[in-house]
A and B are shown apart, each in its own frame.
Chain A
Amino acid sequence: MQSSAKTGASIGLKFSVLAGLLFLHLPVLLIFLYAFTTEEKSYQFPPPGLTFKWLAVTWGRQDVWEALGLSLKVASIAAIIGVLLGALCAAAISRSRFFGREVISLLVILPIALPGIVTGIALRSAFSLAEIPFSFWTIILGHATFCVVVVYNNAIARFRRTHGSLIEASMDLGANSFQTLRYVILPNIATALVAGGMLAFALSFDEVIVTTFTSGQQTTLPIWMLEELVRPRQRPVTNVVAMVVVLVTFLPILGAYYLIREDESDRNTR
């Protein structure tokens, strides 16, 4: 008994792990399944029949295309803002010592710790006070608050591992600040920035709460889905869209994961 417990008498353990994983992921598979059901009105199980027609129907729905386009635009611009500001902020925090450094570092990370609803309400009242009309750009501003954090966290970890002497070495070999940035700093933090940007993109792409508070008439894809669930027209179309959302967010996150991991192992063998 003793030895089998050590080597893996974990049939029970294996089972509960499997059960846990299924519990997490079966519902997602069900969403996929119902994207192909022939039954339009309800989630009947098992589905009475399977069909590809919803893909075509979704393809033809103008509102889906608009929402998808808006979400892609918002996520891209928010991620770019996140990369720019996050990288600059990480560079400042990691390379210099100044009064209030810790406070700034904390304030930058805060938006991701704050519940989205608090961020949303705060932004909404701030926009109203400043009489900024809600638009495409207010959504982007809302999303940028957490995009900056994601990139910042990635970049600062990389800066910490990049020796200050690399910059000095570059200067010593005749490079001025811009050349050092271009040939030494950027290549060293590039993967961290790309990974951070991908995560930020994925987070922004499926964001609901902050968007609800900062959008005007615009409907991003997640908001569109929420509305569809409340007032369904063609249920399976929502499921098709859900599949697209999973793919659009899953691939960048997977990419970011591999980028960071490969880089990590590369560095560890140094």
Chain B
Amino acid sequence: MESAVGFENLSCHFGEIRAVGNVSFEVKKGEFFAMLGPSGSGKSTCLRLIAGFQKPTSGRIKILGEDVALIPPYRRKVNIVFQDYALFPHMNVSENVAYGLLIKGVSKPDRVKAVDQALDMVRLSGYGRRKPNQLSGGQRQRVALARALVNKPEILLLDEPLGALDLKLREQMQEELKDLHRELGITFILVTHDQGEAMSMADRVAVFSEGKIAQLGTPENLYKYPQSPFIASFVGSSNVLSPEFVDFLTGRKRWASLRSEAISLVGATDESAQVTGTILSNIYLGSSYRITVDAQGQRLRVLIPAGCLLPVEGETVGLSWSGSDFHLMEDELT
């Protein structure tokens, strides 16, 4: 598989502050790649490094196999959708979308055709004459997408593209982005702090923490086999088991993770029960119940489908899971 973007031992400092520290990774051509992390973790800096707005302190970036150290942003074959969309307020939608083509010197009839196509693709045909301030947040987002895509980039960079949208619109846009990616077959690189967004859209996810990649893998891989308590808690609904609890269960003092839906409730005296615990609460989530259990001082969240027999608060139950779901983390204890 060819490489779209490659980072080699890349560091980026702002004065004394290290934004990105010695990061190496590769994004494959045609991949939907997500950079996930809390704010200040270095993911946005990485995106700006690819776009060329930021210069690395050391290390190399390759785009489509070519070292881009000396290539300014306006000559890179990438386009970016900004978090605040950055639509030009003095131009209407068509002019915004046509901007890249105008700069390239594309003739007017070709420009008009390409803009119509791009607006059609993001389902905004007929909005060409509106000004950005006459559009809703979701529509502006689509204009920003069209403005980037009309240039037929090899790589599309998305900087928290759904951050400013409300929940329903966000879910809808997630699907549309996924469809667009499938349709166009180009590389998408997404920056987000929303794990749900990264996990649902991306082929592979790099989780950033303090300027480094904490773990890189497929969403399933991250979910099932987190390498550190940070990943497990950041990526989602896994129970992070403390070394003390793991020691009690297995005799090994390591962090471990156990997904909520992998645990089942059995009778306290049932022989399949690996541990017993007390029910602290149960919360109705629609399709399931989330039950919190206290076992040997370790809080565990258990998801059971609605319609099952519900335990009551204070009841003692047995907890059971299959050995393959119990995941010991690789991180050594410090």
Contact assessment for B86 and A169 in the assembled complex, using a CB-CB cutoff below 8 Å:
yes
Contact assessment for A166 and B86 in the assembled complex, using a CB-CB cutoff below 8 Å:
yes
Contact assessment for A168 and B99 in the assembled complex, using a CB-CB cutoff below 8 Å:
no
Contact assessment for B88 and A172 in the assembled complex, using a CB-CB cutoff below 8 Å:
no
B50-106: which have CB < 8 Å to A? 51-53, 72-75, 78-80, 82-84, 86-90, 99-100, 102-104
Total interface residues on A, CB under 8 Å, equals 21
The answer for the CA separation of A163 and B132 in the assembled complex, in Å, is: 14
Q: Is B151 an interface residue (CB 8 A)?
A: yes
Of chain B, the residue at the smallest CB distance from A179 is: B103
Q: Could you say which of A51-59, A88-96, A262-270 contacts chain B?
A: A262-270
Residues in B neighbouring A184, C-beta threshold 8 A: 88
Contact assessment for B74 and A270 in the assembled complex, using a CB-CB cutoff below 8 Å:
no
Residues 52-73 of chain A, each 1 if its beta carbon lies under 8 Å from chain B, else 0? 0000000000000000000000
Residues in A neighbouring B99, C-beta threshold 8 A: 170, 173, 175, 183
Of chain B, the residue at the smallest CB distance from A191 is: B90
Of chain A, the residue at the smallest CB distance from B78 is: A172
B92 to nearest A CB, angstroms? Answer: 12
Total interface residues on B, CB under 8 Å, equals 28
Contact assessment for B74 and A171 in the assembled complex, using a CB-CB cutoff below 8 Å:
yes
B185 to nearest A CB, angstroms? Answer: 21
Of A169, A170, A184, which is in contact with the most chain B CB atoms at under 10 Å from its CB?
A: A169
Residues in A neighbouring B89, C-beta threshold 8 A: 166, 188, 266-267, 270
Residues in B neighbouring A174, C-beta threshold 8 A: 74-75, 100, 103-104, 151
Contact assessment for B82 and A165 in the assembled complex, using a CB-CB cutoff below 8 Å:
yes
Residues in A neighbouring B111, C-beta threshold 8 A: none
Contact assessment for A165 and B79 in the assembled complex, using a CB-CB cutoff below 8 Å:
no
B151 to nearest A CB, angstroms? Answer: 7
Residue numbers of A with Cβ under 8 A of B are 163, 165-166, 168-176, 179, 183-184, 187-188, 266-267, 269-270
Residue numbers of B with Cβ under 8 A of A are 51-53, 72-75, 78-80, 82-84, 86-90, 99-100, 102-104, 132-133, 147-148, 151
- Give 17 A-B contacts (CB < 8 Å), ordered by A residue: A168-B51, A168-B53, A168-B82, A171-B73, A172-B79, A173-B79, A173-B99, A173-B100, A173-B103, A174-B75, A174-B100, A175-B99, A175-B103, A179-B103, A187-B90, A188-B88, A267-B89
